[in-house]
Amino acid sequence: MARRLRPVGLDFIEDAPIRLTFTARTAAGPEAVYRALAEDVAGWPRWFGAVTLARPTHGGAGREVRLVGGTRFQETIMAADPERRYAYRVDETNAPGVRALLEEWLLRPAEPLPGSGTDPGTGTGTDSGAGSGTGPGTGTDTGSGAGVGAGTLVRWTFAADGPALFRLALAGARPGLGHSFRSAVRALDARLSSGRPDGR
């Protein structure tokens, strides 16, 4: 049964007891990535493997999302800044334990690291996070990408609150969330690069 969560504002991204942050790189530019995130909501299942349904609600001010396994979310769009940021708050869910949840996607043009001749998306990736309180802290995951000095750095922050058992479970889920995010960004980039963002 769906439960209403605590309403939070955008400042929850910084203040949440649990914050997981993952970063990956696309060859596609910020404009194309933003369109796929914010304007083609129904297209999410075509590139985000964990999502089975996504559709805009309330004239585009909200979203309904369903995940593999039956988890459901009713969301409110909190920020839609073209080519820069897309954020949404979960208002209702059937996921156990969670009390508040906000997700933010930040986009910025990718650039090579100064003096290194390499780009931030090259390599195997890391997941290093300093703990915050009793929560799992912030994990930063830099995934693989293509093309030096071009494309988009995509940063996804998962900010949540819940009891101790929920925090512990989320800490254990961090590697899986990072893998899901990296896979989704790779699939999205391949779709955008193929010129078929609508999946046809």
Pairing of strands 18-26, 140-141: unpaired
Pairing of strands 127-128, 100-109: unpaired
Give phi and psi for 168, each to the nearest 5: -65, -45
**Residue 162 is encoded by which pair of tokens?**
């819940």
Please give the pLDDT value at position 51. 98
139 band by pLDDT with thresholds 50, 70 and 90 = very low
pLDDT in tens, 181-200: 999 999 999 999 887 655 44
Cβ atoms within 10 Å of 34's Cβ, excluding its own: 22
Please give the pLDDT value at position 191. 96
CA–CA separation, 187 and 28 (whole Å):
12
Min mean pLDDT across 9-13, 33-37, 139-143, 148-152 is at 139-143
Q: Which residue has the higher pLDDT, 96 or 149?
A: 96
CA–CA separation, 89 and 74 (whole Å):
9
Residue % of the chain over a pLDDT of 70 = 78
